[in-house]
Amino acid sequence: MEKRGSFASRFGVIAAMAGSAVGVGNIWKFPYMVGDNGGSAFIITYLLISLLITAPVLIAEMSLGRMGGQNVLGTFRTLAPKQKAWQGVGWLGLITAFVILSFYSVIAGWSLAFIKDSVIGSFAGKDVAQITADFNGFIASGWQPVAWAIFFLVLTCLIAGSGLQKGIERSSKLLMPLLAVLLIVLVVRSFFLSGFGESVNFLVKPDFSKITPNVMVAALGQSFFSLSVGMGTMLTYGSYVSKKESIVDVVTNVLIADVIIALLAGFAIFPAVFTFDINPTSGPDLVFLTLPSLFAQISGGQIMSILFFVLLFFAAITSAFSLLEVVVAYVTEELKLKRRAAVLVSFVGLAILATLCAMSQMPESALRLGSRNLFDTFDLVSSNVMLPLGGLLIVLFWAWKLPKKRVEEEITNNGTCSTKIFGVLYFLLRYIVPVALVIMFISLNS
């Protein structure tokens, strides 16, 4: 078996984990969910849930990975040797990685296609209706979204295949700062649009009457998805983190980066939306249809559009590494393949699923589960069922199955850090988080 890798530096750990967290969820989903769910009231709910529920689960997940020092399945086997049932959490994580990465590659593929379109100027002079018609044609062709999704997977696999440090860590250290710079450029440009003031109102002034149980549920699903929690990506990355690192500090950094980038994405997008008096609730279309048509109307819009879709691509690929790594770690450690072979095997499976997801969006496609196509089903089921369920099981394992002493030693590095916060964290994870998750889980799916 190959020697197990580990991240080389603290910045590398944070870049890789923040790279996993910051993704399509921050740049595409978060802004449209804010638009759909009443602006800043949603944001406040989201922040509270991320701090009190998701971040503790992330800490638990990462610490399990570091305790086990293996892939998801191996970790549960080692930590609960006599209770095979817990390995089910590992299986759930593996399946979720496939499910998310397959629809994720389709969206990331769109961002690549939109980079190309922005570069050749094909949005110039077009309004939303024309851009929508073009996009529908693109989707209906079937082969185009499939080709872009596979191209995205090839890029992801090439980088991930060159190793944990040389591929994943190095490119995350490069792409994450670049992403921040691109986003800041976009926000600065948006600042000069006349709709900036109105979008600040929308994003900052809360209307608490908008916080309903549904909004809370949407915020929870989004928060889990955005922080990559509940399926073993953070567990797998945690297994590559040195025993000297403070898990609480790393997670704090990741949480701050994830939240700031989601908020900045809002400040980059909404000013254009308000400048042209567009309803902010245009849903999933916001980024791919509304935005290019707005960019087409402002000066410097073509460059903004290129930068925006490059940004989306960077965000997507660093998240895709972490999803792929769940599978690759499993294949190298449990099936004893070399890293490159493991990446290749995973690629084949993912390319098939991504193809099905992209094709399911063609009009009249038979690739449906119930009333939804495969793509929408994968998106919905992963955020609303698989991640909260995985998160709940991870928390129960951490807080109720493992002895308190064991988790305390892991979180505090044997009493040398995070000792004060441990008590609060343990209380949250043992009582508050499971109850909150069960309540939300029930209302989520009822």
The residue ranges that bind ligand PHE (CB under 6 A) are 20-21, 23-26, 100, 225-226, 228, 231, 233, 319, 322-323
C-alpha closest to that of 90 among 432, 319, 343, 333: 333
Closest CA to 21 of 241, 357, 261, 341: 261
> What is the spatial distance between Cα 219 and Cα 8, in angstroms, rounded to a whole number?
34
To ligand PHE, the closest distance from the beta carbon of 134 in angstroms equals 25
Closest CB 143 distance from ligand PHE, rounded Å: 26
* Residue with smaller CB distance to ligand PHE, 227 or 359: 227
Query: Rounded to 5 degrees, what are φ and ψ at 77?
Result: -65, -40
Smallest gap from Cβ 320 to ligand PHE, in A, equals 8
Residue position matching structure tokens 């969006």: 361
Cβ proximity to ligand PHE: between 131 and 320 the closer is 320
Q: Which is nearer to ligand PHE, 252 or 302 (CB)?
A: 252
Residues 6+ apart with CB under 8 A from 120: none
CA distance 111 to 48: 30
Q: How far is the CB of 26 from ligand PHE (least distance, A)?
A: 5
- For residues 342 and 94, the answer to whether their CB atoms sit within 8 Å is no
Backbone angles phi, psi at 317, to 5 degrees: -70, -35
Nearest-approach distance from CB 322 to ligand PHE, in angstroms? 5
Nearer to ligand PHE by Cβ, of 29 and 66: the residue is: 29
Cα–Cα distances in Å, from 4 out to 196, 240, 242, 334, 338? 49, 8, 12, 13, 11
Backbone angles phi, psi at 367, to 5 degrees: -80, 75
Q: Which is nearer to ligand PHE, 100 or 351 (CB)?
A: 100
* Least distance in angstroms from the C-beta of 413 to ligand PHE: 26
| β-bridge mates for residue 368, sequence order | 373
Q: Would you say 107 or 291 has its CB closer to ligand PHE? A: 107
Q: How far apart are CA 421 and CA 114, in angstroms?
A: 45
The H or E element that residue 348 is part of is helix 339-359
User: Rounded to the nearest 5°, which phi and psi values hold at 369?
Assistant: -120, 110
- By beta-carbon proximity to ligand PHE, the closer residue of 26 and 412 is 26
> Could you give the CA distance from residue 60 to residue 262 in angstroms, rounded to a whole number?
23
Nearer to ligand PHE, 182 or 278 (CB): 182
Q: Are 64 and 235 in contact (CB under 8 A)?
A: yes
The residue (of 296 and 437) whose beta carbon lies closer to ligand PHE is 437
Minimum separation from the CB atom of position 364 to ligand PHE (A): 30
Q: How far is the CB of 45 from ligand PHE (least distance, A)?
A: 17
**Residue 395 near residue 437 (C-beta atoms within 8 A):** yes
Least Cβ distance, residue 81 to ligand PHE (angstroms): 27
Residue showing tokens 């024309």: 130
DSSP state of 369: E
Contact between 6 and 240 under an 8 Å Cβ cutoff? The reply is: yes
> Closest approach of Cβ 363 to ligand PHE, in Å?
27
Cα–chain center distance at 380: 14
Q: Which is nearer to ligand PHE, 24 or 49 (CB)?
A: 24
